[in-house]
Structure 1
Amino acid sequence: MANSKFEYVKDFERPDYLLPNTWLVVRIDGKGFTKLCAKYGFEKPNDKRALDLMNAAAKAVMTDIPDIIVGYGLRIPQDLHPIRQKRVSTFSAYYVHLWSTYFPDMPLAPPLPSFDGRAVCYPSVQNMRDYMSWRQVDCHINNLYNTTFWTLIQQGRMGATEAEEFLKGTLSKDKNEILYSKFHMNYNNEPEIFKKGSVVFRDYELVEPGSDNVAETIDDLAEPLNQSKTQAENDKKRRAKARIVVEHLDVIKDDFWDRRPWLLSNKPGKIPKLT
């Protein structure tokens, strides 16, 4: 770019620093989604179409950005810190692009759906796993409340204020009892996507816990991954060949991570054989 007297404005630019050797979580949140849900008449307490749209957008982002390892909130590995805005803008673009697939009879109109994001650097594997666990616990708590709240309104014919007052101070066991005793509804039979949320990741052959392919300690996984340029390119190609899946699994227990060691090591696993 040619020098000019206007070039001084570049001095106002500031880099967006993120800590190296950490696990980066990019949390993406919808902007004004309460109004959007009302505008397009999303089903309460859960609209499967809207959830499938979110998952499809997440899969598309992971396809475009191979650095992302797992989505429940998008996480990328140590020492790979591209600007977070790329993830947020890519997610927004795919959400709008895929809208008509899931809502074919509801064309979008301005204001269009948009998302913002924040990046948090977690220094250890345990911190990162605890973050994922926190999000899944929140999913369960919120879904149980919303399911009970909207059942009281839709089937119990309560008003919103009345239902809110009715649920004040109730625990999880109380909400389960309300659903069962008043509406013959067993919350345990609700779809897993509602209770556990969705986990998006690249699919490789599962590993049996205790095998040689599993890292021995969390400390081993916390070490930065030192690779040659050739190794990094080969791993990138292997990741690109992997199938991206959406599952509704428990990410709090060790089993999810132990059977998928590639999520923490950033080393691609074996591509499953076609049967």
Structure 2
Amino acid sequence: MANSRYEYVKSFERENYLLPDTYVVIRVDGKGFHKFSQHYQFTKPNDIAALQVMNRAAHKIMTKYSDVMMAYGDSDEYSFLLRRQCELYERREMKLCTLFASLMSSYYSFYWNQAFPDKQLEEDHLPVFDGRAVVYPNFNVVRDYFSWRQVDCHINNLYNTTFWNLVIKQELTPQQAEHKLMGTVSSDKNEILFQMGINYNNEPEMFKKGTIYVRELKDYNTKDESNLSSRQKSREDKKRKKADIVEHHVDIINDDAWWDSRPWLKD
């Protein structure tokens, strides 16, 4: 870019570089998806086709960026784990947040039109996502983060499953259903569902546990990339890109074996 007397305005720009050698999680959330789902008449309590649109968008993001080692999503949110030694966009926070939010918005729109050809997106009702980046100092905290999101998925899904079955099957108003569930615990909700002929344990695992994508590396050896040349780093990047991205619907909260069998998530 040519120098000019106006270039001084760049001095007002500020960048926040995320701490090196830390784990970065980028979480994207749908903006106003309650109204979005109402407008496009999502099936309640879970619209599997809409969830698959989210999943396909997240999977596509992982295929584009090999630094994303794992993703977890449910409802209208997805969390992407960047590897600890990630140097994507020099770890600039604003760049990463806007990138992931815009990618999710774009891919969601693209896959939506494929999944719902009879419900084309309207100008005033478009899917929009925001993004945030959080750094974590060690992998134990990363595990707790994903456990937190999965617990949140279970709590919300149990409530929504009970709420919408009260509305649909017992024909309660939303206000009546909300009042009936006020103060209830998990066992109470399970009993209410059972009385309506629903065993919550038989609900699809994706609804109860969310969706997990993992970049499954083979013949993995721990590497400190700080001493690698650019060519060596490029080779490692190609290996990650070639790795399979596998979908899981499992309880990861207390499953040490599941985490231990994927040591590359820690590196």
Do the two structures share a fold, i.e. TM-score over 0.5?
yes
For residues 122 and 28 of structure 2, the distance between their equivalents in structure 1, rounded to whole angstroms, comes to 22
Gaps of 5+ in 1: 208-212, 216-222, 266-275
State the Cα deviation string for residues 105-144 of structure 1 (Å, max 9, x = none): 1111113211110000000101111000000000000000
For residues 237 and 104 of structure 1, the distance between their equivalents in structure 2, rounded to whole angstroms, comes to 36
* 1:151 aligned to which of 165, 169, 172: 165
Paired residues of 1:25 and 1:74 also in contact (CA < 8 A): yes
Match of 1:108 in 2: 121
For residues 226 and 87 of structure 1, the distance between their equivalents in structure 2, rounded to whole angstroms, comes to 26
**For 1:109-148, what aligned pairs fall within 5 Å after superposition?**
109-111=122-124, 112-148=126-162
State the Cα deviation string for residues 212-247 of structure 1 (Å, max 9, x = none): x798xxxxxxx9653513432222111111221221
State the Cα deviation string for residues 68-118 of structure 1 (Å, max 9, x = none): 000011010113253312222122111111111211211111132111100
Compute the displacement of 1:169 (Å).
Answer: 0.8
For residues 22 and 263 of structure 2, the distance between their equivalents in structure 1, rounded to whole angstroms, comes to 18
SS of 2:176's equivalent in the other structure is helix
Compute the displacement of 1:61 (Å).
Answer: 0.3
SS of 2:68's equivalent in the other structure is coil
Match of 1:35 in 2: 35
Paired residues of 1:96 and 1:113 also in contact (CA < 8 A): yes
Are 1:94 and 2:107 counterparts? yes
Paired residues of 2:217 and 2:240 also in contact (CA < 8 A): no
155-164 vs 94-103, which moves further: 94-103
Alpha carbons of 1:251 and 1:226: their partners in 2 closer, same or farther (altered >3 Å)?
farther
Compute the displacement of 1:204 (Å).
Answer: 4.1
TM-score by length of 1: 0.86
Two-structure CA RMSD over aligned residues (Å): 1.9
Match of 2:249 in 1: 248
TM-score by length of 2: 0.88
SS of 1:128's equivalent in the other structure is helix
Gaps of 5+ in 2: 73-78, 90-94
> How many residue pairs align between the two structures?
251
* 2:185 aligned to which of 159, 171, 174: 171
Paired residues of 1:214 and 1:258 also in contact (CA < 8 A): no
Match of 1:210 in 2: none
Match of 1:69 in 2: 69
**For 1:252-267, what aligned pairs fall within 5 Å after superposition?**
252=253, 253-265=255-267
Counterpart amino acid of 1:257? W
Counterpart amino acid of 2:110? H
Identity of aligned residues (%): 49
Paired residues of 1:250 and 1:256 also in contact (CA < 8 A): no
For residues 71 and 227 of structure 1, the distance between their equivalents in structure 2, rounded to whole angstroms, comes to 28
Alpha carbons of 1:148 and 1:227: their partners in 2 closer, same or farther (altered >3 Å)?
farther
SS of 2:81's equivalent in the other structure is strand
For residues 227 and 173 of structure 2, the distance between their equivalents in structure 1, rounded to whole angstroms, comes to 60
Moved beyond 4 Å, runs of 4+: none
For residues 235 and 227 of structure 1, the distance between their equivalents in structure 2, rounded to whole angstroms, comes to 13
239-248 vs 113-122, which moves further: 239-248
For residues 5 and 234 of structure 2, the distance between their equivalents in structure 1, rounded to whole angstroms, comes to 43
For residues 18 and 217 of structure 2, the distance between their equivalents in structure 1, rounded to whole angstroms, comes to 30
